Amino acid sequence: AKTPGLPDFSGGAVGYFAYDVARSYQKVKNVKAEQSDPLNMPDIHLLLTNEVIVYDHVKQKIILIVNAEPGSDPKTSYQNAVERLREIQAEIEKGSTPAQAGKAALGNRNSSLDTAWNYSTESKDSFMHKVNQIKQLIEQGEAYQVVLSQRFALPTEADPFGAYRVLRSLNPSPYLFYINCGEYQLVGASPELLVKVTDDLVETCPIAGTRPRGKTPEEDQAYAEELRSDEKELAEHLMLVDLGRNDIGRVAEFGTVAVKNLLHVEKYSHVMHLVTNVVGRLKQGATMYDALKACLPAGTVSGAPKLKAMEIIDQLEREKRGVYAGAVGYLGFNGNMDLCIAIRTILFKGQTAFVQAGAGIVWDSDPETEYEETLRKAKAMLEAIKQGEVG
C-alpha cells in the first residue's frame, strides 16, 4: 500500500520488460527460434532503487526518500538512512549548472517525416507486401488484426539525455522517461498505459485509432470528428477494448471489470488517438506480477486474437522486437506498479539510435496508408535524435 505523504513510487525496481518476455508464459505456437537479435539486449533490465529523489512540478518542491532494511538492528538502519538523506540534501544544495544538451531550436518540424524512410531497416515494398500477407490471413479467418512494425536505425552522436529533453518538448506524453542502463539508454514519451496496480485496483488503457494533428484549430477539430466517426477505427478500437477487458478479467474479481471514458480523443504533438480506460479490482491472491503477465503484450501492439497475432508477427518480422512494444516503468516495494507500453521510444546503443513503430492491420487496410502511419509515429523520435545532436 502507498505510504501517506509519499509519492506513488518511493522505491523499488525501475526498468523494462521486452516484448519477447511474453514468450515465457504466452503459449505462442510456431515461434521462430532462429529470429535474429541484432540489438543483443536482455529481455528484462531492472534497476533496484533504494534512494529516490522526487521533484514535484506542481508544488515546486523536492522529496528525498531512502529505504532502510531494518534487519537485526533497526535503530542503526534508521540512523544510516537519515545520514544518507543528509548527504543527498547536501549534494543537491551544492547546486550545479543544468545540462544544456538538447536545447536546440524546435524548428523545421516536418523534415523528419520526409526522410524517415531513409533510416528504415526494410524497404517500403517489403513492408507493404507484409501488410498484404496479413490481409490474406485475416480473410482466411486467422486473425482480426495484426500490428506490424518496422525499425529505424539512425547513426548519431546525440546525447541521450539531450534527446530526452527535446522529445519531452516535441511530444509531451503521460509517460516520459530516461533510463541509463549502462551500455545503452532508453528515452521515451509513451502515451499508453500497459497496466497499473494501485493497492487492489488494476487498470489498462487501450489506445487505437490515429489521425494527424491539424495545422489549424479548425483542421484539428475536423480530424478529431473524423476519427470519432470512422467506422473502421471505431470497430478496431472496440475490439481492442474487449481484449483489454479480457486481460483485466483474468486477474480481477468477477463483476468488477468496468469500462470508463469510452472512445475519448487524446491529442499529442503529431497525432491524436482514441482512448478508453478499463479497470477492475484484483482478485484475492493476485499480485502485480500476475497483472503484468495478463497484459503483456498489449493487444494494441500485437493484435487480436493476441496469441495468433503474436505468431503472425514472429513469422513476418525478421528480428526480435526487444524493448519495443514491451513495458517500461516501476514495480514498487509497496506492491504498486505502473508500466507504460514501450512505444514512442528511442534506444541509444553505441553510435546508433533505434526507433520502432507499428500499424494495426485489418481486413481493409491500405498498405501505403499503414506504411505512412509508421513514419508518422516515428517522426517525433527522429526529430529528437537530430536536434539532440545540435545541442
CA distance 84 to 91: 11
Catalytic residue status for 324 = yes
| pLDDT score recorded for residue 172 | 84
| pLDDT score recorded for residue 254 | 95
Of these residues, 237, 273, 281, 376, which one is catalytic? Answer: 273
- CATH class, domain 12-49+97-390, is alpha beta
Of these residues, 360, 371, 374, 376, which one is catalytic? Answer: 360
Catalytic residue status for 237 = no
| pLDDT score recorded for residue 109 | 41
Q: Which residue has the cell 514495480?
A: 331
CA distance 389 to 370: 30
Count of C-beta atoms within a 10 Å radius of residue 67: 15
| pLDDT score recorded for residue 390 | 63
Cα dihedral 306, 307, 309, 310 in deg (nearest 10) = 110
* Cα torsion angle, 50, 51, 55, 61, sign: positive
Of these residues, 16, 19, 175, 324, which one is catalytic? Answer: 324
* Cα torsion angle, 213, 156, 302, 342, sign: negative
What is the value of pTM for the model shown? 0.88
| pLDDT score recorded for residue 268 | 78
Of these residues, 151, 165, 344, 376, which one is catalytic? Answer: 344
| pLDDT score recorded for residue 116 | 59
Q: One digit per residue, pLDDT tens: the chain, 391 residues?
A: 667 778 889 999 999 999 999 988 877 765 555 678 899 999 999 999 999 999 888 888 999 999 998 888 889 999 999 999 999 999 998 875 455 444 444 444 444 445 655 778 889 999 999 999 999 999 999 999 999 999 999 999 999 999 999 999 888 888 999 999 999 999 999 989 999 999 899 999 998 888 888 999 999 999 999 999 998 889 889 988 999 999 999 999 999 999 999 999 988 777 889 999 999 999 999 999 999 999 999 999 999 999 999 999 999 998 999 999 999 999 999 899 999 999 999 999 999 999 999 999 999 999 999 999 999 889 888 988 988 876 5
Beta strand pairing status for 271-281 and 207-212? antiparallel
| pLDDT score recorded for residue 348 | 97
* Boundaries of every domain in the chain: 12-49+97-390
| pLDDT score recorded for residue 33 | 55
Catalytic residue status for 300 = yes
